[in-house]
Amino acid sequence: MGRTLVFLLIAVAAAAAPDEAALEEARGAILEGRAHFEAGRHREGIAAYERAYRAFPETPHLFVIAKAWQRVPGACGETLAAWDRYVAHCGDCERLEAARSQRADFQQQCSVRLTINAPPGAVVSLDGAEIGPAPASVAVLEGDHVVRAVEGTQVAEQAVQLIRGKDRTLVLRFETPAATPVAVPASEPVVRETVVIPTPTDNTTAWVVFGLGAAGIAAGGVAWLVRNQAVTDFRDARSEDDAIAARDTAESTHFIGLVALGLGVVGATTGLLLVDWGDDATAALHLGPSTLGLRGCF
């Protein structure tokens, strides 16, 4: 009998002793959950604490899970269920009344129902937490929220302020993309032929100057003829008076001839330069060594 009692006490003690492997698993899950909570990944943190509770079922784990669900946007139902779970497992624990109070207050805050309408196929999220495909209807907390709808590369986002006791319907629309401009082929350029009508030029002055120059050359030529005749008369003079007269005539006509020829050449050249011959005629007058087929330095 005594030996049986000893074995029974050992079996009870072994059953009551915590499993070290389960305890280590729970500790690891708790550390993982805390890291997720610090990074704002509440759903991942809740999943880690659920593993900790399954490995080592302690009521405080359920309290942490309920508080974490309160921080998940649009998770009013999950939060209330988590508080009910904690109250059911708490029994007469110290936090029972506080848990009931928090649940009642949270239920009042979740009295706002938000209905989100968006184009079919769009995925709706609330405050960065995905809700599901549109349309969607969730009970959410009062206050400021950001609703977002995404379909492919199209995004629609809108901020909304919810008031306790007042349901809200929100419609999100994607912006219509701007029409892509269609390239219109350029038409063939119209080539317009420009007809240049030559402006008649007035070369009267140039020809007058040229004529005066030609007259000067002629006068110079006549003066030289007279001078040559006077030289001949001087040589053939039979008297002194005739010789003197012929000499005077030769000297005067010599001077007159030189002046007349000089002025005539200048006048004729100037007249030719003043004449507007046109582009073709001007180009024809510009003769150089290369035009004449000559080579070398000039």
User: By mean pLDDT, which of 52-61, 155-164, 185-194, 247-256 is the weakest?
Assistant: 185-194
In the numeric block, which tokens belong to residue 137? 């209807």
Domain borders along the chain are 19-108, 112-171, 204-285
CA distances from 234 to 225, 257, 268 (A): 14, 18, 33
| pLDDT score recorded for residue 200 | 54
In the numeric block, which tokens belong to residue 54? 């399954």
- Enumerate the β-bridge partners of residue 112: 140
Average pLDDT over residues 12-21: 56
User: By mean pLDDT, which of 24-28, 34-38, 229-233 is the weakest?
Assistant: 229-233
Pick the CATH number of 19-108 from 2.60.40.2230, 2.60.40.2480, 3.90.580.10, 1.25.40.10: 1.25.40.10
Q: What letter would DSSP give residue 149?
A: E
Average pLDDT over residues 279-294: 47
Q: Is 202 helix (H, G, I), strand (E, B) or coil?
A: coil
Rounded distance between C-alpha atoms, residue 262 and residue 256, angstroms: 10
Q: What DSSP element (H or E) covers 162?
A: strand 154-162
Task: Note if the bond before 133 is cis, omega within 30 degrees.
Answer: no
Of 148 and 252, the one with more pLDDT: 148
Within a 13 Å sphere around the CA of 220, how many CA atoms are in the beta-carbon half?
Answer: 18
Superfamily of domain 112-171: Carboxypeptidase-like, regulatory domain (2.60.40.1120)
User: By mean pLDDT, which of 97-111, 116-130, 145-159, 279-293 is the weakest?
Assistant: 279-293
